Amino acid sequence: MSIIEKAASRIDKQRSATSAAAGPATSTATIPDSDVVRAIPSASPVTPVAPVAPVMAAAASVHAAHATAAAEAERPAQKSSTRRVELDLARMRDLGMVTAAAGRTSLLEDFRVIKRPLLQRAFAERAPNDKPGNLIMITSSLPGEGKTYCAVNLAMSIAMELDHTVLLIDADVARPSVLRTLGLPAHRGLMDLLVDDKLDMADVMLRTNVDTLSILPAGTSTPRATELLASSTMTSLVNEIANRYPDRIVIFDSPPLLLTSESRVLASHMGQIVMVVEAQTTTQHAVKEALHQLEGYSNVNLIYNKTREIPGIEETYDYHYG
Ligand SMILES: Nc1ncnc2c1ncn2[C@@H]1O[C@H](COP(=O)(O)OP(=O)(O)O)[C@@H](O)[C@H]1O
Ligand SMILES: [Mg+2]
């Protein structure tokens, strides 16, 4: 069975298992050896919980201590022009997203499981022709499957780890939504970098109050956006990012694979690719087509997103703890 057939049949099995409520709504499976399928239930916004659970409070303070050190270490490398923005962590938590401010613990668990193999491969030794493993692209077949949701949650989850800094890039230039999802106002970014060679990354990058997390927004919209994304300037920029931040996880929230060709171009620069599949909605045909476009890339992971929440099943997420 080809990788694609295995993936598609795995997705079918997960789909029927979820629909029939026959088992836990979440499972991790190996598609070929290096691939992961992870099911993420559709999150309903969580009711704010106060006080913050003790375990998370401890994690937050460890994170804060680490983040200060990381910020100190980073400061000399960044120009003073880099702006800092405040993420409203309580708002994010209330929207059901991963933050150090606790929230839906099953979601924290889901992203802990998703990030583990990605982090392992990010800095693994590689052959001279391998793409940098720390460049991770989040894509999907079609719009609306949860790329931005997964990119933001993954970035946040990794930024909360000791020893890792994260750069989240909004490369879905036709439908940018990272800043909106985070409740931040529009800002210059990737598009501006691609059209103005006097601009430097540090001029458009945003540091955040999560000191280990920086954001490169999509930037000023232009009708040439998709063309710019597939340009040789973009190729040079991705190479520059890989060389400039070799110790950083760089997450690209990317366009969908089936509508335009940019995602394929982007994929050719990435060390790892994560394809988000929307449960119940994306057809097997679409998944197969999208996976065909990624044929030849070895590090393709699947996330099965927005699975139906099954009442009473949430405790089973603890199964993945550790
Ligand atoms: N697991 C999930 N639980 C709840 N809402 C989700 C989940 N995944 C995505 N969404 C929501 O679905 C919508 C589309 O997701 P989004 O990440 O914007 O898709 P894309 O970036 O692929 O176009 C958004 O409103 C997002 O908040
Ligand atoms: Mg998006």
Query: Is residue 59, in this structure, part of any structural domain at all?
Result: yes
Which pLDDT value is given to residue 72? Answer: 44
Closest CA to ligand 1's atom 12:
146
Q: Report pLDDT for 9.
A: 55
In this structure, the residue with its CA closest to atom 2 of ligand 1 is 42
Nearest ligand 1 atom to the CA of 140 is 22
Q: Where are the alpha helices (DSSP H) in the chain?
A: 3-19, 54-74, 89-94, 105-122, 147-159, 178-181, 190-195, 201-204, 225-229, 232-244, 262-267, 284-293
Pair 166, 221 in one domain: yes
Which atom of ligand 1 lies at the shortest distance from residue 152's CA? Answer: 17
Report the alpha-carbon distance of residue 36 to residue 16 in Å, rounded.
19
Query: How far away, in angstroms, is 120 Cα from ligand 1 center?
Result: 26
Phi and psi at residue 4, to the nearest 5°:
-65, -45
Final residue in a domain of this structure, among 42, 74, 106: 74
Ligand closest in space to the Cα of 147: 1
Would you list the DSSP string of 249-278?
Answer: EEEEE---TTT-SHHHHHHTT-SEEEEEEE
Question: Could you tell me if residue 252 is inside a domain?
Answer: yes
Ranges under pLDDT 50 in the chain: 1-4, 15-34, 44-79, 313-322
pLDDT per residue as tens digits for the range 8-17: 555 555 544 4
* Residue 156 confidence (pLDDT): 94
Q: State whether 291 and 251 are in the same domain.
A: yes
Ligand 1 atom closest to residue 44's alpha carbon, by position in its atom list: 4
Residue 317's CB is within 10 A of a number of other CB atoms, namely 21
Q: How far is CA 10 from CA 17, 145, 211, 278, in A?
A: 10, 18, 38, 14
Pocket of ligand 1 (CB under 6 A): 40, 42-43, 140, 143-149, 177, 305-306
**The model's pTM:** 0.79
pLDDT at position 75: 47
Which of 44, 108, 149, 172 best tests ligand 1's pocket when mutated (most atoms within 8 Å of CB)? 149
Q: Same domain, yes or no, for 41 and 69?
A: yes
Same domain for 108 and 168: yes
Distance 151 CA to ligand 2 centre (A): 9
- At residue 163, the 3 state secondary structure works out as coil
Give Cα separations from 261 to 218, 250, 268, 290 (angstroms): 17, 21, 11, 11
User: What pLDDT, on the 0 to 100 scale, is given for residue 226?
Assistant: 86
172 domain residue, yes or no: yes
Are 36 and 115 in the same domain? no
Q: Mark whether 277 and 250 lie in a shared domain.
A: yes
- Asked if 217 and 204 touch (Cβ cutoff 8 Å), the reply is yes
Cβ–Cβ under 8 Å, residues 218 and 176: yes
Give the domain CATH number at 202: 3.40.50.300
Provide the pLDDT for residue 173: 93
* Residue 177 CA, closest ligand 1 atom number: 18
Same domain flag for 110 and 58: no
Measured CA distances, 96 to 53, 107, 138, 166, 246 (Å)? 16, 8, 19, 21, 31
Is residue 254 a contact partner of residue 138, using CB atoms and an 8 Å limit? Answer: yes
40, 55, 74 - which closes a domain: 74
CA 15 to centroid of ligand 1, rounded, Å: 18
Closest C-alpha to ligand 1, atom 8 = 146
- Structural domain boundaries, residue 175: 84-321
Ligand nearest to the CA of 175: 2
Domain identity same for 165 and 294:
yes
DSSP label at residue 308:
P
The answer to whether 241 and 167 are in contact (CB under 8 A) is yes
Please indicate, yes or no, whether residues 115 and 172 belong to a single structural domain of this protein: yes
- Count CB atoms within 10 A of the CB of residue 48: 13
Q: Could you tell me which residues are beta bridge partners of residue 206?
A: 83, 215
Residue 6 within any structural domain of the chain: no
Pick the residue whose CA is nearest to atom 6 on ligand 1.
42
Q: State in Å: Cα 143 to ligand 2 middle.
A: 7
Same domain, 61 and 201: no
Domain presence at residue 79: no
Separation CA 61–CA 67 (nearest Å): 10
Nearest atom in ligand 1 to 307's CA: 1
Count: domains in the chain: 2
Query: Which pLDDT does position 105 carry in this prediction?
Result: 76
